[in-house]
Amino acid sequence: MLKYLFIFFILFFITNGNANNKEKIIENLNQTRNLDFNFEQNINGKIENGNCTIEYPKKIFCEYAKSNNKILVSNGKSLVIKTISSYYRYPLDKTPLNFILDKNFLIKKIEVLEERIVDGSYINYTIKENDNEINVFFNNKTFDLIGWQNTDVYQNFNITFLSSIRKNRIIAKNMFKLPDQD
C-alpha cells in the first residue's frame, strides 16, 4: 500500500510540474506584446541567420545577415520574402508562420497538449494543424519561445533557433509594411 501511495505522489508532482510549466509559458505569452531576437535558421542543411521582430498577432520582420539583402515580412495577412533578385508573396494563412505568430493560437494549443522536456533545458509542444506539424520550444527557466521546427510551403524542413530575446520594446509602426516588388 505504501508503495502505491509513493507512486501516486511521484505522479502527482510530475503532473503538477508540467502544469506549472504550462501556466508559466501561458503567462509569459500573455504578457508579451512583441519580441526582438537573433535567429539561426537551418533549411535542409542551409544555415542562415539574422535578426527578427515579432509583434503579436501575426506580424514579423526579419533581416538576414550576409545575404543578398534578404528580408521576410508579414503584415498579419501576407508574407513576403524579398532578395535583390527575387520577390515571393504568400497568404500568411497558407504558411506555418500563421500559427507560430499567433500567440492566442499557441496558448490554446499549449493548454491541451502534453509537453516534452528536451535535454533538461527545453519544453517542447508538437502542434498538428491543417496538415502542418510544428514543434515549438520554450526555455525551461525563462519560459520564452526559443525556436520551432516545421516544414515550409516548399516541403523543406526548417529549424529556427532564437537567441538574445528582448520583449515588449518600442518598435516602428511601419516596420511590418510589405515591401514593393521592384
- Please give the Cα distance from 153 to 96 (Å, whole number): 8
What architecture (CATH level 2) is domain 2-176? Answer: Clam (2.50)
pTM check: above 0.95: no
**Residue pLDDT, tens place only, 116-161:** 999 999 999 999 998 889 999 999 999 999 999 998 777 889 999 9
- Please give the Cα distance from 60 to 16 (Å, whole number): 34
**Residue pLDDT, tens place only, 17-52:** 456 999 999 999 999 999 999 999 999 999 999 999
CA angle, 66 as apex, 35 and 48 as ends, to 5°? 60
